[in-house]
Amino acid sequence: MCWGVPAVVKKIFDDNLRALVDYGDGIDREVIIGVSDEDIKVGDVVIVHAGVIISKIDEKDLDLYEEYIEKILRDERENPDLSE
């Protein structure tokens, strides 16, 4: 399974092909804007996989994503054999 990680767009480069994003740790990282049908803007929350923005998400989707990750982590703690 592949993981996409939510991040906030901090800057769009002039070529509109690259952006700086923050994954929540305060460190800006350069990524490729890989979605062509979505208008990515500074402040948007996006999903990044392998250094490429693969989608833009809204607050509702972000909340669902966080709930899903919390459930996975909780299930893993309660049932460590699941990860084998």
Q: What is the CATH number of the domain that holds 20?
A: 2.30.30.140
Across 58-69, average pLDDT: 84
Q: Do the beta carbons of residue 28 and residue 12 sit within 8 Å?
A: no
d(CA 29, CA 45): 14
Residue 67 has pLDDT above 80, yes or no: yes
Has this prediction a pTM greater than 0.85?
A: no
Q: How many domains, in total, are found in the chain?
A: 1
Please report the pLDDT score of residue 3 as a whole number. 79
d(CA 62, CA 5): 10
Which is more confident, 60 or 32? 32
Residue 2 has pLDDT above 80, yes or no: no
Across 4-30, average pLDDT: 95
